[in-house]
Structures are given as C-alpha cells and as structure tokens.
Amino acid sequence: MDIIKAQQWLIGIFSVLLIVILLVVAGYEMKKSRQYEPEIEIDEVSAQCINCHENKGIAVKLIDEWKDSRHAVMGIGCNECHEAAKDEFDAMQCPESNLIIGKHPTPGDCRECHEQQVDEATNSKHAVGQVMMALKGPDRNVFEPTIGTKNGCEQCHNIGNYWPDGSIGECDACHSKHRFDPSQARRAEVCGECHVGPDHPHIEIYLESKHGNMYSAFGYEWEWDYPPGDPPPFSAPTCATCHMSATRTSKRFTHNVSERLTWESQAPFSVRTQDYWAGISWQEKRTRMKGVCLQCHGESFVDRYLLTADLTNLQYNQIWEETINWANILKDNGVIHTDVFSFAQQTLNAWPKEGYDQEIEHVMYRNWHHEGRRFRHGAEMMGADYTQWHGIWELQENLVKIIELGAENGITEAKKWMESKDPNKFMMYALYDMPGNAWGPSALAYRGNMPMDRIDNYWEIVYDNVRTVYDKGLLTEDQWLLYNELYENREKEIGRIYDMPPVHEEFMKNLDIDLKQLYQEQKVDLKSFKW
C-alpha cells in the first residue's frame, strides 16, 4: 500500500509539473504572437538601397526605424520618398549605383500621399516660422552673429522652411524620419523640442499645469497608437489633444495648429486671429477649442477660464502700450538713443533694429518677448507660476526700472511717479478684471488691500473697459452675457458675502506667534569674522 501511495504522489507531482510547463510554453507562444513582425515587401530599387546601406554600415539605424514604420508594412520604401529627377534641387548621383536620389524629401514629396495633411500644415502658423525669423526678426538678425542661429533659431523656425521646389515646412520636425510614428508626435516632448525656454516655455507651462501633472503620472499607461479620427483615449490632454486631435463632438483632426487659436499672443501686441489662418473666424476657432475643453470640464468652468485668459491678453496690451509710451518719453528726453518706438509699428513686428545698445532697451524688449509672452501663455495654459512670478510680477518690475531710469535722469514725470506714496501708482494703465474666477468663490481671497478696495468705482471702471472691447468685437456675445452675470453677482462671485470659517481666528493667532514670539525665542546671536 505504501508503494502505491508513493506512485500516486509521484504521478500527481509530475502532472502538476507538466501543467506548469504547458502554461509556460503557452505564455511564450502567446508572447511571440504579440511580437509578430509582418512580412515587408518592397521593390528591387529599395531593396538595393537597403542592402547597400546595411553592407556598408551607413545609416543602418534609420533602416531599422523604417522597418518598424507603417510605411514599410504598406510597401513604401526608399524609392517612393527619395526618387528624384536630374534637374531637381537636391538630386544626387548615388556613388554605389546608377540611381538619382533626392537628399532632402520635402513636404512636396509627402503631399503625393498626404495631400490634406500637407495643405493644412501649409496654412498654419508653423508654416511661417521661417518668415518670422528671417524677415520679421531684426532682434536676432541684428544682435547675433549668423553662426549663432544655425543650431539656434533656425533649427526650430525651419519648421516653415521655404524649399526650392515651392513647398513649405518640415514634416520630420514632429514625425522623426524614418519611422514617422504618430505615437511620437502625440507626446508633449515633441512640441517641447521647440516650445521651450524663457520666451516660449510651453513645455514647462504644460508640465506645471494639472494637465502635465496627470501626463507625468499616468502617461505611461495611455494607449498612444489610436485611429486619428478618434478622440485621444487619455485622462488629460497633451499639446496635440488641444491643438490637433479629434474630439468627442468632432471627428476632425488637423495638421493646422492655428485652427483653435483665437489670439496672436506671441506677438508684441495681442490681436484676434484673422480668417486667413485655417479659413475660419476666431469665434469659430474659439468654439473648436471649447469643444476640446468640454471633454473633461463643465461648461461653466470652461467659459470662465477662457474669459479670464482673454482678459489677460487685453490687460497685457495695456501694459505693453505703457512700455512703449515710457520708451518714447525716455527717447524724447535723450535718455535712450533709438530713433523709433512707434506703438503703431510695434504691433506684429519685432523690436527696432537699432534698439539693442542700452540695457534698458533690453528690459523693454523682454516686456514683450519674454515676460509678456509668459504672462499670456501661462494664463491660457493653466501655468500659475508663469502667469504670476515669471509673468505679471516681472512685467511690473520692468516698468518700474524704466521709470526709475527716467527719474535718475531728471524727467519730471518719472520723478513724480517715483516720489509718490500712493500704491495705486502701479495701476498706471487701463485695467481689466472679472468678478471671481473659474475655481469657485472664497470667503478670504479678495479681502484686504486689493485694488478693488483702494480705487474708487473700481468695478464700474473695469466694467466700462470690458464693454468697450466687447463693442469693438474682441469678445463674443456669450462672453459679454457671462460678464454681465458675474458683474451683477460680483459680491457673491468674489466671496465677500460669506462668513470666515471658525478656524480663521485660530489661524491668525498662530501665524502671529510664528512671526513674532517664535522669532524672538529662536533667534540666535553668533559671532562673525571681522574684516
């Protein structure tokens, strides 16, 4: 009986082992099936190119990239993109064959298969990137040696390259050759390759925002390879989600990054975008962008947030106009030597070509090109720190530096301003404001020494300013109706009708202890070296 039991145990053990082995083998086979590589079929010409490159070890990684591409699966090889006639600008005789090849495939070549995408990109502000650098940018063209722009401005602004074949753009600025994978182009880091730095820190603004926070936390889980006509299956947007991708209410995805932009907010003066870019009005562009926001947010939040961003652009315009006004005061009094600081000429054009030989001119320049952009773009993209400390705070600091220089040089108007003890002197331009915000009322946020407390008829003044820009056509009818609703209920919106929470007095008591009593108790007197 013991022998039989032992045999039964052995049979049981081996059965379990067999099942485990079968499961392992099944899992391995399933993994292999998921890693299936489709058979790639190409013509003899492309095969000749690939064999030669692989044998000589030249650009082999690009061939590997191509093998992983949708082009390869569809049988689109080297010849389809690099074929060229002898008289083409980039024609080159291949040294190892009798083939004539094009060294620089252009959007004109891509257009043979991707007509809609190329046409959309050609009508976007990406397409004029090189124009803004080469023709509209005396700042960098005058102040920098040309060699400094080769891997600087040009590397990004050539997304709008003017090719000799008449086509415009750089498809591989977003879709790395030779894989051209949409999954890569949908990630924020692709846009951050150019949209970065002190004058357009969009990738930093995005990563600071709640959107970027969620991207950093959960992006590795997201499915990046989805059909282009579907809305992104993400829990938060990327750059492409807001500016290019389909939405839940519209299957339209686009390569025209201007289709949802309602402001020229990178320019010295914010203006509403014209119909030429994307062929639709700024109001329709606003509707399309709102459709993106409504995928995750309620309409009340979206409307209030977009109204705040619009008023921020309008407020920046007043600050920029004040900067130009003070520049002219300094010029007229012989403090700075640049001949022209014309407000009319400095709307969409860059800084005067002669205005770079004094430090204060750089301060004024940054009020547009650095701080002014960060103020506006931070407000548009939920980047609080860029709206505040890298934006409006530095805008105000720069204005004070300009006026201070005028006072030091005896300009009466500047001296009077510097000597004033009135805190309202910092509000030296027309003001815009909105009662409350998109986040909800606070019983505390708008108590204290606020401009609305110090300036007589504050809300009546800002209301008239908002009405003026609405009458000018710079706000929509819906926005004006919303503003009136907020204005009529302003005490509720700003939260002053609500009582402070009971713990508030306890907070104040303990903050007073922190700042006074503990400082005295913990202050340490030490001896230092004497010079």
For residue range 34-82, list pLDDT tens digits in order: 454 667 888 888 999 999 999 999 999 999 999 999 999 999 999 899 9
For 227-256, write each residue's pLDDT tens digit: 988 999 999 999 999 999 999 988 889 999
> Are 447 and 500 spatial neighbours (Cβ–Cβ below 8 Å)?
no
- The pLDDT value given to residue 219: 95
- In the numeric block, which tokens belong to residue 472? 């000018």
Q: Please state, in angstroms and rounded to a whole number, the distance separating the CA atoms of residues 258 and 272.
A: 12
Helix (H, G, I), strand (E, B) or coil at 36: coil
**Would you put residue 528 in left (φ > 0), alpha (ψ -120 to 50) or beta?**
beta
Phi first, then psi, for residue 60 (nearest 5°) are -65, -35
Lowest average pLDDT, out of 97-111, 201-215, 265-279, 347-361, goes to: 347-361
The separation between CA 197 and the C-alpha centre of its own chain, rounded to angstroms, equals 11
Does 528 have pLDDT greater than 90?
Answer: no
What does pLDDT average to over the chain?
Answer: 90
Q: Residues 396, 435: contact at Cβ < 8 Å? A: no
Contact 81, 92 (CB under 8 A): no
What region does 192 belong to: left with phi over 0, alpha with psi -120 to 50, or beta?
alpha
The pLDDT assigned to 34 comes to 47
**How far, in whole angstroms, is CA 466 from its chain's centroid?**
27
User: Contact, 182 vs 357, CB < 8 A?
Assistant: no
Q: CA-to-CA distance for 297 and 289, rounded, in angstroms?
A: 12
User: Do residues 162 and 190 touch, judged by C-beta distance below 8 A?
Assistant: no
| pLDDT tens-digit series, residues 101-117 | 999 999 999 999 999 99
CA-based diameter of the chain, in Å? 117
426: which residues sit within 8 A by CB, 6+ positions away? 396
d(CA 342, CA 325): 9
Determine the Cα–Cα distance for residues 295 and 382; give it in Å rounded to an integer.
Answer: 16
CA-closest candidate to residue 312, choices 205, 431, 425, 394: 431
- Tokens 């003890």 label which residue? 421
Which residue's structure tokens are 């579907």? 230
How far apart (Å, rounded) are the C-alpha atoms in residues 56 and 28?
A: 35
Q: Could you report the per-residue pLDDT of 115-138, keeping only the tens digit for each? A: 999 999 999 999 999 988 887 777
Structure tokens that stand for 333 in this block? 């009094």
Say how far apart CA 363 and CA 336 lie, in whole Å. 12
Distance CA 369, CA 405 (A): 21
Q: Are 376 and 318 in contact (CB under 8 A)?
A: no
pLDDT in tens, 481-503: 999 999 999 999 999 899 999 99
- Determine the pLDDT at residue 250: 87
- Asked whether the bond before 243 is cis by omega within 30 degrees of 0, the reply is no
Question: Which residues 6+ apart lie within 8 Å of 431 measured at CB?
Answer: 315, 318, 451, 458, 461, 462, 465
In this prediction, residue 230 carries a pLDDT of 94
Alpha-carbon distance of 382 to 213, in angstroms, equals: 11
Residue range 15-26: mean pLDDT, rounded? 60
Please say whether the beta carbons of 137 and 350 come within 8 A: yes
The Cα–Cα gap between 302 and 296 comes to 10
As beta bridge partners, residue 58 has none
> Is residue 367 within 8 Å of 321, Cβ to Cβ?
no
Q: Tell which residue, 83, 236, 81, 240, has the closest CA to residue 174.
A: 240
- pLDDT(10) > 90: no
SS3 263: strand
CB 383 within 8 A of CB 377: yes
Higher pLDDT, 209 or 345: 209
Q: How far apart are CA 202 and CA 336, in angstroms?
A: 33
Give percent above pLDDT 70 in the chain.
91
Do 129 and 160 meet the contact criterion of CB atoms below 8 Å apart?
A: yes
3-state secondary structure 430-473: CCCCCCCCCCCCCCCCCCCCCHHHHCCCHHHHHHHHHHHHHHCC
CB 243 within 8 A of CB 257: yes
Report the C-alpha gap between 468 and 462 in whole angstroms: 10
Q: Which residues pair with 28 in a beta bridge?
A: none
CA distance 340 to 202: 31
Q: Is 134 exposed, middle or buried (0-12, 13-18, 19+ CB in 10 A)?
A: middle
% of the chain beyond a pLDDT of 90: 72
What's the pLDDT tens digit per position in 282-309?
A: 999 999 999 999 999 999 999 999 999 9
Decide: pTM greater than 0.75: yes
Contact 201, 386 (CB under 8 A): yes
- Residue 133 CB partners (closer than 8 Å, separation 6+): 140, 149, 153, 154, 157
Residue 192: both structure tokens together: 């951050």
pLDDT tens digits for range 152-202 = 889 999 999 999 999 999 999 999 989 999 999 999 999 999 999 999 999
Cross-strand pairs, 264: 271
